[in-house]
Amino acid sequence: AESAEVVGLIEQNRASFGICLLRSMPKALDARVLYREFFGLYCGPRHRLFARREIAMADLRGEPSVSFQTELDGGPLDAVTRLRERAKLAPGLRGVSANLPEIRRMIIANIGIGALPVHVAERDVKLGLLRQLPPLTRLPAIDIFLLSNPRRKLAAAEAALLARFHAVIAEHPLEERT
């Protein structure tokens, strides 16, 4: 489910816990950073920059792009919007989706340059399906949250799983979970 839907389900006590992005911290819920991911810009194999030996940031100016729905309107991926602005990509978007595999597909199909979590795109880069574009440093960090409702009565299995998540978070610094 989209992050906003996850938050709504947990606030309404219709779900035990969820993993999502957060625009702001919900007051009545328990939100803990599960891990942090870094986003980079990518193009697919049919893009004009894919096979180029050297790519400068200026080469991205005016290029069409695709985007996550949560990147729009100051959502939880607002830092990715700033990355797109830093690259001076063309205004307007050729494609928008809330679904990571769909964004990946649009990039590979050369609909536009798009941002993906570096750890997710790594395999496709090795397979020659994606190429990471500049900038390669100072990439936006996005926190992924474990969200739960402390007022919810959990089943034994739910309580055990949530306790294990909390233990892992407590035992391992964020750098290890990133």
Query: How many Å apart are CA 102 and CA 156, to the nearest integer?
Result: 36
CB 42 within 8 A of CB 59: no
Residue 140 structure tokens: 């936006």
pTM of the model: 0.88
Banded pLDDT at 63 (limits 50, 70, 90): very high
- Give residue-wise pLDDT tens across range 121-132: 999 999 999 999
Query: How many Å apart are CA 56 and CA 157, to the nearest integer?
Result: 51
Q: Is residue 145 scored above 90 in pLDDT?
A: yes
- Give residue-wise pLDDT tens across range 13-33: 999 999 999 988 888 999 999
